[in-house]
Structure 1
């Protein structure tokens, strides 16, 4: 892949990991921009970026990757797209695509730039630059969200970059399709985990917990400002999933309350079968 001069905006967990991964696995020249000067200094010391870039230097880059929360990302694009050179490629890693993709696509086209939305499906229970690492994306999934106006050449460049960073599987879908699926596969899990740890029993769990507890509570140590923004930006799909979950939980609750062994077995059997079918489907996809 031809060497690019890349600017990563926002050096949190994902942005910092993107910098480190590009430095580790590609020959691209990686620079950083962040409002936190201490983070930029640490990233330079770590070798994650070659140097920090002032706003006056934005026009120098082939690729600008914005790693901010959805509202902050939109505000950044609105403020700085005129500062990027014609022909530059733009992308973001926001967990919600929705109206952002269409908005930035149209805005970038006004200035002769190409935009492609993406969402790396990788993360940790901790956030911020100190927890970033170049191996974060190895074996992970990445979602690309082109629309009819999106440059096919830009999609190919981004997919090659994603492949070089170690992602195992790339999915192309619409922004709307992305948001509907993410409400189920990611956002719902974070809501449930956050609610689950609010039981008063949490204070006595030490010594009683195992893998199930760890799996259920891992994502409760989230970045509340980022996830609140994501939830509200994706309100309709997330409410659908929450209402579905509440309805299903009520069925389990009712069966337990009635001491209804037969119904409870049926509910549990149905859940087991659905998950087994899901695992078989994944195994088939890997073979193909």
Structure 2
């Protein structure tokens, strides 16, 4: 009964999404290739057909394999897909990595997409922001809203879990794809971001994925790589893999030290510093 109720709820929300796009003459989707924006692209194409376009921003903070995934998924959906270059790495407000770094990233993205949408006659730019994102610290949402972007998933009230369930219901083969935020999210606020550092993290995470691991992060701080895995996988990881070889590989990428986070993977872990209580001297 609970599953049937869940299915009905998702079916209703799916219909709301379709109705939302039916009210748009044309739409340009800010498409990262992640599960959120890919669901938006799927529904937009189902409703609008060739009046919907998916555009992916390519930059050093995007893994090349994620860009390839975006291409493959767009082709399977059938939606027209284009790639643009963004240059957030030229902005010191971004590379200095302040707590609102994402604001400058999304500003660059939408300042790139908006002229393209206007030139092509697309009155709407939509993104993959969902209902759960609205309760998280996401300064990039403000930048997108300031530039007129809409967030269909959030407008309909679709959560992260519902995105996966709806993607599965629509038989999208990537419904269980792990979340993959930009590589800049691997660095603690205040540590500068460079192309070299981004490439170090990319190589490290690629190494771990070749070992068969899916959900993971390699956080980087002052030359130290901190590996995050799901808690249930930590023991098997230590027992079953060649740790000295891993350390040697990470050292070759430029890391001085390699550590394993015993707490395990947690999305947005670096935002904890924003929640620390202020202590005043007596």
Task: Return the TM-score normalized by structure 1.
Answer: 0.34
More helix by share: 1
Higher Cα Rg, which structure: 1
Task: Return the TM-score normalized by structure 2.
Answer: 0.34
